Amino acid sequence: MRPKERFTRALLAAVVGCLVVVARAEDRDIAFAYSAQVVNPKLTGSLYEPRSRTLLLWGTDGAILYSTDLGTWHNAPTPATADLARVAADADGKVLIAVGERGTILRSDDSGRRWHAVAAGGSDFDLRAVIHHASSGVWIAAGTRGTILRSLDSGRTWSALEHGLELSFETLYVEPASRALLIGGEAGLIGRSTDAGVSWLLTQIKMPEPVTPITAFRSLGDELIAMSALGRFLTSSDRGESWELQDMGANAYFTDATLDPVHSTLLLSSHTGDLFRREASDSSWEKVELTLDGQKRFVSAIRYDELTRSLLAVGHHGLAARSTDGGRQWHKIETGFASSMESLAQLDKGRYVGFGEGGYIVSSADSGKTWRRASPELSLNLREVVSVPDSDIMVASGELGGIVRSADSGRTWHLIDVRYPNMNTPPDLRSLLVAPGGKALVAAGAPGTIIRSEDGGQQWRIVHWTPLEKEEAFPWVLARGDSMTVIEARGSFYSSQDAGKSWHLTKLDTDRELWQGSVAAKGSVMLAGGQRGVAIRSVDGGRQWAHIDTGATEDLFGSYADEHSGDWFLLGGKGLILRSLDAGLHWQRAPSGTDRALRRMLRHSATNTLVAFGEFGSIVRSSDGGRTWQPIASGTDAELRKGLIEPRSGHMIIVGQQGVILRSTDAGKSWQRISSHTQRHFRSAVINPRNGDLIAVGERIVRLTRGSATSR
């Protein structure tokens, strides 16, 4: 090669190298925006707006869903994380108001597509009810601590009504004939207003102890029903001016009421599975047991269907039944689902939507004869989630042997049926990981269970099962190269050299439980730790283990192998950080600057900074390889559970309890909170490297879609 050519190539390589450095520096300055959606809220209420032909469902975590065809459901973005109690619409169906916990008021002026927060004048109360009084245009909201709010400007501003009561109001209602406002609450309280809520005549209904609350009103023909508990409800034949206490002599909590006009029959449903009916000519109520397959179940809703001139009842554990004789006899409807309907939305022309826990939605277009599931019940408490390499597949595992799977980067999820040897004792799947080679998934938990999937989590095979009476618990799985090891709490280790297809038992005597472990980025060293400072070590990929002396008596909740320096760390109670320079043979304490328990560690690769975190929002940081540590403010007291590195930017992310997601864009010096749209606890999270979506799991599944980036 000529000298000039060598110089040209060297210059070109230098320029390319500079461009790479610049690009990496730019990546480190990127700040991504995330938009969070709770995939599986508990849905508790519904509202059908006939003018826009829109059905809204709402529930926990500030969730509001809407649909115009009952097949496609859209998430309406809301600025709230509070559980929502009620949504009401004005006379035109355009302005909607939602209320909930901590004084939450949301307003929409486009039939529920978009929402913004409205000040309620405080957050030390929960709002339980809201209603629009069409004849006056006034909005009324009510809740705990005696709160009654009024709005005269279409829900934009609210003022509190002073009345001196501190009890909780549970329900609001507009009596159809007189247009009087009714309010019900604890201690048997009923109130009536004839001036659009300016003043109230409040009455405490006399009843035996314990006095039960008034929870809902229903207008059934010429009669008003006020529902309560312990088999009690009230009736009024003068539009709510006076009330008569009815006592069924049962412990029933009344859940719903309806009128069958064909048979001139009033019916009330209850959580015990008992129905109470009364014909127009009767003066007393008859109890009917809704028993299907020899069982009574919680009846959550009862409706009269005009097309079939029949009654429809739904409830828990797949309950659906029909009566054509005014509620005397009931016949089972096969829905094909075992999930519970917490309530039932009735639209027009025989259309119904049932909904409940975990985002469960089903619909019927033929008066309840057949049902179609729009969204499964995902009410699992999940412990771990992984991203399947080179795909948009996400798989999560958790309690009761639960496995859920998404093929579209967490947008939609499906329950995976795993047939365990004993379905009465399903495992608590605490560990889930991609097996060596990236082509299989392995999950493990207590009682001693290991399952494996070779098709991205669609089908699972039991590769190890220990009966419950043997008391095996698998809290952690380690993987490195072709080796995998399942840690058993009492010292029984199962190792695999074929990516989890077969497993071999090795035992180690220990008088303390083992809870977690880590594996070296290079080589075959594995480490496990646990109760009262116990730690063990393997140098052959988990085949054999030996005790090591840590010098600690604190519980060890986490361990970490620093791939940059080769150092090892053990983390534990009272802020314990132990550091080893010889692959875990000898340990020294490193003062952490906190007395809170530490659980996990994370490294910022661009600066070689280490961050450890744990209970009560504790975060400590080291910029010298773990020799010294400084406490860092996190802005939360939630327990922090899992650390991640954001693809492309290299920023650090930590998730934890109370819906906390923290991000640091300065190598752990400071932390900012990302909205997760929930306050439920997270245990784990994963980022899809293909598109940057963040999936957090625990008591909820939350998908955070990564939006456009801004340069910092």
Phi, psi of 252 (to 5 degrees): -70, 140
pLDDT value of residue 5:
43
Report residue 276 as tokens.
């109470």
Pair 261, 303: CB distance under 8 Å? no
Q: Map residue 573 onto helix, strand or coil.
A: helix
Pair 465, 504: CB distance under 8 Å? no
pLDDT value of residue 164:
79
Per-residue pLDDT band for 592 (boundaries 50, 70, 90) equals very high
Q: With a cut of 90, say whether residue 153 has pLDDT above it.
A: yes
Name the nearest CA neighbour of 119 among 135, 102, 138: 102
Distance CA 643, CA 649 (A): 15
pLDDT tens digit sequence for 515-550: 999 998 777 899 999 999 999 999 988 889 999 999
Pair 268, 275: CB distance under 8 Å? yes
pLDDT tens digit sequence for 30-50: 667 899 999 999 999 999 999
DSSP state, 497? S
Report residue 695 as tokens.
């999936």
Burial class (CB in 10 A: 0-12, 13-18, 19+), 311: buried
Q: CA dist 124 to 86, 139, 148, 502, Å?
A: 18, 21, 13, 57
Beta strands in 394-523 (DSSP E): 394-398, 403-406, 414-415, 428-434, 441-446, 449-453, 461-465, 476-480, 483-487, 492-496, 504-507, 514-519
Q: CA dist 207 to 188, 189, 210, 231, Å?
A: 8, 11, 8, 12
Q: With a cut of 50, say whether residue 8 has pLDDT above it.
A: no
What per-residue string of b and e applies to 293-303 under the rule 16 or more CB within 10 Å gives b? Answer: eeeebbbbbbb
pLDDT value of residue 636:
98
- Comparing 10-24, 79-93, 110-124, 184-198, which segment has the lowest mean pLDDT? 10-24
Q: How many residues does the chain have?
A: 712
Mean pLDDT of 552-580: 96
Q: β-strands 372-375, 382-387: how paired?
A: unpaired
pTM of the model: 0.92
pLDDT value of residue 20:
33
Q: With a cut of 50, say whether residue 690 has pLDDT above it.
A: yes
Full set of structural domains in the chain with CATH: 255-377 (2.130.10.10), 382-711 (2.130.10.10)
pLDDT tens digit sequence for 274-325: 999 999 878 889 999 999 888 999 999 999 999 999 999 999 999 999 999 9
CA angle 504, 508, 509 (to 5 degrees): 145
Name the nearest CA neighbour of 645 among 634, 656, 637, 653: 653
Q: With a cut of 50, say whether residue 683 has pLDDT above it.
A: yes
Per-residue pLDDT band for 709 (boundaries 50, 70, 90) equals low
Pair 64, 84: CB distance under 8 Å? yes
Per-residue pLDDT band for 413 (boundaries 50, 70, 90) equals very high
Q: With a cut of 80, say whether residue 10 has pLDDT above it.
A: no
Distance CA 562, CA 548 (A): 19
Peptide bond preceding 447 in cis form (omega within 30 of 0): yes
